[in-house]
Amino acid sequence: MLTDIRRILTREIWHCDLHAQPAPRRTVIFWLRMLHVLAQDLASGELTLRAMSLVYTTLLAIVPLLAFAFSVLKSLGVQDQMEPLLLDFLAPLGAKGEEISGKIINFVDNVKAGVLGILGLLLLLYTAISLVQKVESSFNYVWRVREARTLTERFSHYVSVVLVGPLLIVAALGITATASSHVMLQHIIDVAPLGKLLVVLARTLPYLLAIAAFTFLYIFMPNTHVQFRAALTGGIFAGVLWEFSGWAFTVLSISSTRLTAIYSSFAILIMFMIWIYLCWLILFVGTQVAFYVQNPELVRHGRGYEDVGGRTLERVALHIMYLIGRGYVDNKTPWSREELARHLHVPTDTILDVLGRLHALGLVTLVNGRVRRYLPARDMGTITLKDIVNSMRRNPPGAEDVDRHLQAVASVDQVMKQLDHAIGTALGDMTLRALVERQAGTDIADLRRS
């Protein structure tokens, strides 16, 4: 029975044409595929490993981060908001959360520049920056970004997180506290007939603030352009998951006594680490959702389309070079990697591999900007189709040269030479410009954005 059910689900979810389905059914199928792909991502272990590594980094960086935040808040006279912030974050730990919050605040109060010295302050600064850097690296991994930010960009982003972040958090806490006060709610209720509606909005404000915080991070942290719609979808998913996990963790921590019996006084530390791990994992799952919403072709195909053969790479490379060349000739906006993936219905990972090889061999050039776009690296009359095909057949730049160490067989090498000669003869000296101009009158629809 289970085999039959799995076969039916596979046919109805993965083997149907989404474009031919009505809008409601298309949405349901897309999200079922999304949940399946997310489960595969979690099962692969990469996201969970990154979340676990950040637990250790968080334990080292939480005091210096709060110390910097405390200094910023103290200059504004609102340093008393630090403890309510920690209590709110550690609320799922119950009474143990208050104990941890008090100890962390005591640690922060004892951080004195005169006692630590320059070396100690530099160490604290390094741990705080390393946390933000690891978070950025994890976001870039999810978004398949292989280009790191420049030193200037990193400095501006990290300063924003360390200095501006506390101000935004305090403002959010102030709004939440005001909206949650009984006096404020009583005044709202008295405003008929919208009183009950406003009360519901006030009660949902913490959810809205969590969603806004996640959405901001999903736009701000990755070193690529993130559409607001995608970031908001990921923010809603993560915000709801965050609130639900907090409620579930609170129930679990209150009802569970075995952890205390086993770990004794270490139980509070274990629970604290588990909660931090869940927080990081929720953050990464949300950005994974945002990535798939912006790159739906990965959800359509699933993870089974990540590895492709050499012939497919050659075909994709020719299509990419043709589209980039046609866009350049027609004075169109250069193609981005996301647009190429959506237009060709090819997974983003494959597009990135092909573009990486073309860029490394000097066939395309990257246009700097928030959205990464591509242009021909040189005159298209000097780019032959043979160059494009060979860029996929050769080893990627920097890869180990296996051919050099291969124990060759003369007869096999003779076949390979004949194959190389046949490809060269078939393509001749035809250039990318010749291909673009030959197809200019028949393939106008090729430039239509998906």
Max mean pLDDT among 29-43, 70-84, 98-112, 192-206 falls in: 29-43
pLDDT band at 364 (very low <50, low <70, confident <90, very high): very high
- How far from 131 is each of 150, 153, 271, 274, CA to CA, in Å? 17, 16, 21, 18
Q: Where is average pLDDT lowest: 74-83, 316-325, 440-449?
A: 440-449
Say what the alpha-carbon torsion angle 396, 397, 398, 400 is, to the nearest 10 degrees: 40
Distance CA 447, CA 269 (A): 57
Domains of the chain: 44-300 (no CATH), 306-447 (1.10.10.10)
Q: CB–CB of 320/427 below 8 Å?
A: no
The maximal CA–CA distance of the chain, rounded, in angstroms, is 92
Distance CA 3, CA 6 (A): 5
pLDDT, one tens digit per residue, over 127-156 is: 777 787 888 888 888 888 877 777 777 767
Indicate whether 115 pLDDT > 70. Answer: no
Distance CA 242, CA 139 (A): 18
Tokens 């009359």, residue? 381
150: left (phi over 0), alpha (psi -120 to 50) or beta: beta
Distance CA 275, CA 270 (A): 9
Task: Return the closest-CA partner of residue 101 out of 121, 75, 81, 115.
Answer: 81
Rg (CA), the chain: 27
pLDDT, one tens digit per residue, over 176-217 is: 555 555 555 566 556 555 566 666 666 677 778 778 888 988
pLDDT at 339: 87
- The β-bridge relationship of strands 335-336 and 364-367 is unpaired
Distance CA 450, CA 445 (A): 11
Percent of the chain with pLDDT over 70: 64
| Centroid of chain to Cα 404 | 38
> Looking at per-residue confidence, does 442 or 362 come out higher?
362
- How far from 423 is each of 318, 332, 389, 420, CA to CA, in Å? 14, 32, 9, 5
Length of the chain as a residue count? 450
pLDDT at 450: 42
pLDDT at 448: 47
The predicted model scores a pTM of 0.72
